Amino acid sequence: MGLQGEKTREMFQRASRVIPHGVNSNFRYWGDEDTLIITRGEGAYIWDADGKRYIDYRLGFGPLILGHAYPAVLERVNQAMQSGTLFAWTSPQEIELAERLAKVCGLGMVRLTNTGTEATMHALRIARAHTGRERFIKFEGQYHGMVDYFMYSSAGTPPGSMGPRESTKNVQMTRGIPAAISQYVINLPFNDVELLEKAVAAHADELAAIIVEPILGNVASIMPQAGFLEAIRSLCDQHGIMMIMDEVKTGFRVALGGAQQYFGIQADLVTYAKSMGNGFPIAAIGGKSEVMMTIEPGVVAHGGTYSGNAVGVAAALATLDVLEKESVIETINQRGQLLMSGLGEILTDAGIPHALSGPPPMFGIVLGVEQPPTDLRSFHDGDLDLYEEICAGLCERGVQPDIDAREPWFLSYSHSEADIAETLTIFEEAVRAAKK
Ligand code: PMP
């Protein structure tokens, strides 16, 4: 692709001398010639070091639900900082935020933390402490953060590596995890109730949790089939297993009350991050009060120096204000739908088989298939190379989804109808160029 302009290249090379591979998260590395240096964001746009503007559909991997540098959020954060940011005590704002989260998301109690990884890590500990059990089920392709326990068959699992559906293999996503960790993790294909029932029957007494991304936000927004989440809920109820919904991507985005509201299913523990703070580091673990009260000083640990810090809390309060008072979710649904329909038409006209999956505020595109995939294995049937080529063409022309087809297109309140129209024009050009 060669996305870097001259200044970007220079800065990237400078970065690479002091930051491994020039990035502070491996997911941001697109290779030595395409990894960007971004200097500014506003609304739906970001600008690189050469001043090139992109319409941004990555949105920092999802968080910027209102758009970059959203004034109401910045004002609240600015104001909050003037009174100090960290006290190692509870602040009135933390209480207000917990109350509002509990109400909006249908939670008994809430603990604040800073990142999705911290939230899922603590949720798993609470589930284990609550049940006195150690193993857990997750689903292939689901990403729950950088914790050792979750780094099996998560984002980036190569096709053909997971073994047979009936006896899946845990694919270790990184070196540096003790081999023994794998025994605690059972990976299953998403959307397969029969295999789930079998696994639960075989391991019920050992299972602390079933953790699920209710929509596969790390595999092209694959949707749960009717009855799948319900089956998890009911198996958890039957066997005293904790259902953990990882709403780090879906929270505040698919509905104000997240996927729990969208699908009408209540989990025992829920994790939130991303859209909760519109780009500021703030996250939460919530759930039923009796489960959350497993946390006990000196007995069951949850902590963090920056948990509930004033900046993250102010950002979350301001974001919630906008989400509650303005028609944000309606708008990102409407604009997302416009975009999905337009992209679909262009692909149909170009004779490229495709499936669009997921809800409009975070949808995926899989090329070369007639039906939306139902799990990571069927996602791998898609033409990922063609997708990458089209996305490379988009980036060259100033529209930026992720080049990895697993990552959904994210909509923000700042994406206008004009931005969607411009995106569609550019998409048509990129498709035409890729077909050549
Ligand atoms: N859970 C899910 C579903 C995620 O998508 C992510 C991040 N993409 C995480 C957890 C981890 O969140 P963070 O990067 O904030 O640690």
3-class secondary-structure state, position 134: coil
Is residue 119 lining ligand 1, measured as CB closer than 6 Å? no
Is residue 48 lining ligand 1, measured as CB closer than 6 Å? no
Calculate mean pLDDT across residues 245-252: 98
Cα 434 to ligand 1 centre (Å): 32
306: exposed, middle or buried (C-beta count within 10 Å: 0-12, 13-18, 19+)? middle
3-class secondary-structure state, position 37: coil
Q: Is it the case that residue 436 has pLDDT exceeding 90? A: no
- pLDDT band at residue 214 under the 50/70/90 scheme: very high
269: exposed, middle or buried (C-beta count within 10 Å: 0-12, 13-18, 19+)? buried
Q: In this structure, what is the dihedral angle of CA atoms 366, 370, 376, 378, given to the nearest 10 degrees?
A: -140
pLDDT score at 345: 98
For 9, 195, 319, 320, 328, the CA distances from 187, given in Å and listed in that order, are: 40, 11, 35, 34, 35
Q: Which of 121, 122, 249 has most ligand 1 atoms within 8 Å of CB, for mutation?
A: 249
**From 48, 56, 246, 268, active-site residue:** 246
pLDDT, one tens digit per residue, over 394-423 is 999 999 999 999 999 999 999 999 999 999
Q: Which residues pair with 222 in a beta bridge?
A: 216
Q: In this structure, what token pair is assigned to residue 199?
A: 């696994």
pLDDT, one tens digit per residue, over 266-303 is 999 999 999 999 999 999 999 999 999 999 999 999 99
- pLDDT band at residue 152 under the 50/70/90 scheme: very high
pLDDT score at 301: 98
Active site residue 143: yes
Cα 116 to ligand 1 centre (Å): 5
Question: Nearest CA to 66 among 311, 312, 278?
Answer: 278
Asked if 332 contacts 111 with a C-beta cutoff of 8 angstroms, the reply is: no
Calculate mean pLDDT across residues 179-198: 98
pLDDT score at 1: 86
- pLDDT band at residue 131 under the 50/70/90 scheme: very high
Calculate mean pLDDT across residues 327-343: 98
pLDDT, one tens digit per residue, over 362-402 is 999 999 999 999 999 999 999 999 999 999 999 999 999 99
Q: In whole angstroms, what is the distance from residue 184 CA to residue 177 CA?
A: 13
Calculate mean pLDDT across residues 65-87: 98
Q: Which residues pair with 48 in a beta bridge?
A: 38
Is residue 59 lining ligand 1, measured as CB closer than 6 Å? no
For residue 22, which amino acid is it? G
Q: Is it the case that residue 340 has pLDDT exceeding 90? A: yes
6: exposed, middle or buried (C-beta count within 10 Å: 0-12, 13-18, 19+)? exposed
| Atom 12 of ligand 1, residue of closest alpha carbon | 116
- pLDDT band at residue 224 under the 50/70/90 scheme: very high
pLDDT score at 211: 99
* pTM exceeds 0.85, yes or no: yes
| Atom 7 of ligand 1, residue of closest alpha carbon | 145
pLDDT score at 370: 93
Q: Is it the case that residue 343 has pLDDT exceeding 90? A: yes
Strand-pair category, 207-212 with 242-246: parallel
Calculate mean pLDDT across residues 172-199: 98
Residues, the chain, total?
436
Q: Which residues pair with 409 in a beta bridge?
A: 363
**Alpha-carbon dihedral sign for residues 331, 333, 334, 336:** positive
Q: Is it the case that residue 265 has pLDDT exceeding 90? A: yes
Q: In whole angstroms, what is the distance from residue 294 CA to residue 311 CA?
A: 28
38: exposed, middle or buried (C-beta count within 10 Å: 0-12, 13-18, 19+)? middle
Is residue 387 lining ligand 1, measured as CB closer than 6 Å? no
319 phi-psi bin (left φ>0, alpha ψ -120 to 50, beta other): alpha
Q: In whole angstroms, what is the distance from residue 236 CA to residue 127 CA?
A: 12
Angle between helix 328-349 and helix 310-325 axes, rounded to 10 deg: 80
Cα 287 to ligand 1 centre (Å): 18
Question: Nearest CA to 430 among 393, 378, 404?
Answer: 393
- DSSP state at residue 224: P
Q: In this structure, what is the dihedral angle of CA atoms 131, 133, 135, 136, given to the nearest 10 degrees?
A: -10
For 45, 277, 328, 336, the CA distances from 322, given in Å and listed in that order, are: 20, 11, 8, 19
